[in-house]
């Protein structure tokens, strides 16, 4: 392991660890109504915006009202985005005169960015005008993650025994108090590092070889800032963060990696501060951290050791640099890809299709679990969903009604949590089965046998997890995949969230029960180990068979070559 790799990892881990608690406590003050230093700056604007919208932000909502507001406003954003993409040719800021987006791609893109997935079946520099990138999709990159974070905030309030709050107020505050200030800081760092920020037309330059090349540009720095802070991950260009226009140096690579994790990591101490149970939140924090470190090891070490087929030819010690940027190396690439899969961002600095099977399994692991910190607010929701299932399973083993946060976990909560858990694999496995069993789905896979199955499985996993990264080697621009993946993104975003809102409403309606000597602690090493094991077992039972037919069989095929 090189010095640069150690330094990069140390900076990323140290920054996220140092900022987690103060940022979480700041969030706790903002969303509990306590005064903060930014009140004078933002409160007048927030009140004016809510007043203009005709909303009383002080009115507490029920779970059904909160969830309905969340779904309805997202549907409205999706419809507006779809219309704007279709009408792109007649809208302003289109210096390259791009035509309107076709209906299938417009649906897929509108669904993708509204659900915070940011799957892209297009190359931005060849398809989208500045208006579509900045005003349409850029707007969604603020409000889509903010709406998901708002639901996570409401859930934590419910766990703390407080009213769920007001969706509209939470939505505005996530944007003004968190995303906007952080985006300004990150964008300024990126501009200072050479990332373009302009509305001028593309450059036509003459190369040293005597040819002509078009260099795309635009408001890329602001796009990159919110793309990573909001766990959106959409690329301004087709190469995403592997493009030096988006991510030019190892320093910007570190900045974007940290930006992805700031809010998802801070949500855990935020929960501890709001509920008054910091030991519980830190236990969940460390469980997520162990998964993240495991994924990093699964990505870095196989790629660092190289391709077994090449090593069998006497090229031992040659890292697998295929599909990776030399300026980041294996170390910088691995930490970025671990972050993008852990925080469900979906931004990439390398071609995932070029990775060895074990790193690809790590990518799947992040999306299957969907709780290795995950997206801001939503990742914590998924972790708490598994916590509820774990305490229920432990309660069955010891013959005692399970409890969490001073509330009994009974049939309704377990049923809803189980429903939220099962929606995710249902969408992935059913979607994959339909794709591999039908001619339109088969037509999209460019590679045969295990790799083709892996590519299809990855696409539906990425859509269901609202991750948005692509393995490659799949014709995702075909109408079949544009429609199917769009539907999976929508269901994967809203169905489980609504189920979890009903869970917290049920808990909120219950009377607290005092803790006794028989109450199982939901913090500490013992519970953390049980939770870790339960997460692994439940997901292995669900996904191991399909993984065994794809990347796992490829791993053994490579290993057999080395063994001979």
Residue 217, φ and ψ in degrees, nearest 5: -150, -175
Q: Evaluate the CA torsion angle 236, 242, 244, 250 in order and state its sign.
A: positive
Q: Crossing angle, helix 250-275 and helix 329-342, to 10 degrees?
A: 30
Alpha-carbon separation of residue 545 from 145, 364, 550, 551 (angstroms): 32, 13, 9, 11
Question: Tokens 């010690």 label which residue?
Answer: 317
Confidence at residue 323, expressed as pLDDT on a 0 to 100 scale: 87
Residues 6+ apart with CB under 8 A from 433: none
Rg (CA), the chain: 23
Average pLDDT of the residues of the chain: 91
* pLDDT over 80 (residue 318): no
DSSP state of 135: I
Q: Rounded to 5 degrees, what angle do the CA atoms 421, 426, 429 make?
A: 130
Domains of the chain by residue range = 3-267, 352-563
The model's pLDDT over 341-388, given as tens digits with 9 standing for 90+, comes to 999 999 999 999 889 999 999 999 999 999 999 999 999 999 999 999
Q: Give pLDDT tens digits for 34-55.
A: 998 888 889 999 999 999 989 8
- DSSP letter at 244 equals T
Q: Measure the CA–CA gap between 148 and 113, rounded to whole angstroms.
A: 13
Percent of the chain with pLDDT over 70: 99
Q: What is the pLDDT of residue 544?
A: 93
Tell me what pLDDT residue 560 has: 75
Structure tokens at 291: 């998964």
The label of the residue with tokens 């990069």 reads 8
DSSP reduced 3-state for 518 = coil
pLDDT band at 315 (very low <50, low <70, confident <90, very high): low
pLDDT of residue 309: 77
How much is the average pLDDT of 466-472?
Answer: 89
Higher confidence at residue 445 or residue 74? 74
In three-state secondary structure terms, 407 is strand
**How much is the pLDDT for 38?**
86
pTM of the model: 0.94
Q: Give the pLDDT mean for 399-409.
A: 84
């Amino acid at each position: 392991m090189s010095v640069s790799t150690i330094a990069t990892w140390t900076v990323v881990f140290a920054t996220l660890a140092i900022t987690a608690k103060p940022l979480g406590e700041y969030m706790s003050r903002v969303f509990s109504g306590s005064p903060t230093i930014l009140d004078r700056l933002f409160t007048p604007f927030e009140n004016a915006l809510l007043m203009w919208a005709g909303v009383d932000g002080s009115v507490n909502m029920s779970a059904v009202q909160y969830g309905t507001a969340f779904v309805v406003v997202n549907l409205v954003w999706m419809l507006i985005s779809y219309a704007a993409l279709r009408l792109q040719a007649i809208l302003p800021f289109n210096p390259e005169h791009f035509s309107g987006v076709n209906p299938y791609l417009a649906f897929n893109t509108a669904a993708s960015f509204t659900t915070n997935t940011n799957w892209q079946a297009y190359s931005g520099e060849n398809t989208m005008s500045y208006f579509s990138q900045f005003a349409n999709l850029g707007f969604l990159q603020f409000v889509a993650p903010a709406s998901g974070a708002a639901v996570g905030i409401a859930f934590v309030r419910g766990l703390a025994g407080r009213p769920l709050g007001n969706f509209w107020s939470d939505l505005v505050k996530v944007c003004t108090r968190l995303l906007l200030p952080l985006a300004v800081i990150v964008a300024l760092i990126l501009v200072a590092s050479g990332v373009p920020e302009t509305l001028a037309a593309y450059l036509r330059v003459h190369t040293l070889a005597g040819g002509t090349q078009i260099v795309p540009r635009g408001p890329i720095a602001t796009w990159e800032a919110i793309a990573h802070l909001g766990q959106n991950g959409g690329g301004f260009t087709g190469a995403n963060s592997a493009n030096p226009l988006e991510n030019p140096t190892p320093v910007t690579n570190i900045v974007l990696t940290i930006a992805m994790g700031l809010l998802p990591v801070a949500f855990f101490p935020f929960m501890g501060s709001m509920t008054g149970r910091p030991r519980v939140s830190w236990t969940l924090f460390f469980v997520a951290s162990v998964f993240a470190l495991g994924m990093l090891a699964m990505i870095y070490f196989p790629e660092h050791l190289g391709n077994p087929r090449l090593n069998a030819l006497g090229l031992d010690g040659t890292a697998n640099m295929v599909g990776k940027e030399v300026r980041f190396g294996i170390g910088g690439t691995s930490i970025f890809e671990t972050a993008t899969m852990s925080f469900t961002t979906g931004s990439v600095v390398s071609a995932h299709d070029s990775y060895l099977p074990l790193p690809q399994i790590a990518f799947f692991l992040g999306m299957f679990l969907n709780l290795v910190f995950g997206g801001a607010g939503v990742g914590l929701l998924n972790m708490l969903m598994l916590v509820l299932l774990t305490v229920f399973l432990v309660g069955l083993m010891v013959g005692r009604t399970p409890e969490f946060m001073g509330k009994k976990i009974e049939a309704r909560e377990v049923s809803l949590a189980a429903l939220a858990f099962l929606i995710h694999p249902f969408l992935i496995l059913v979607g994959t089965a339909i794709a591999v069993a039908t001619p339109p789905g088969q037509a999209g896979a460019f590679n045969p046998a295990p790799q083709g199955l892996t590519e299809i499985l990855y696409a539906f996993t990425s859509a269901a997890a609202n991750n948005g990264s692509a393995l490659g080697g799949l014709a995702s621009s075909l109408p079949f995949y544009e429609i199917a993946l769009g539907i999976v993104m929508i269901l994967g975003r809203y169905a489980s969230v609504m189920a979890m809102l009903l869970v917290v409403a049920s808990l909120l309606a219950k009377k607290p029960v005092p803790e006794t000597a028989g109450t199982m602690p939901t913090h500490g090493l013992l519970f953390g180990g049980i939770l870790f094991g339960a997460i692994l077992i439940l997901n292995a039972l669900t996904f191991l068979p399909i993984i065994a037919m794809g990347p796992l069989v490829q791993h053994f095929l490579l290993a057999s070559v080395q063994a001979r």
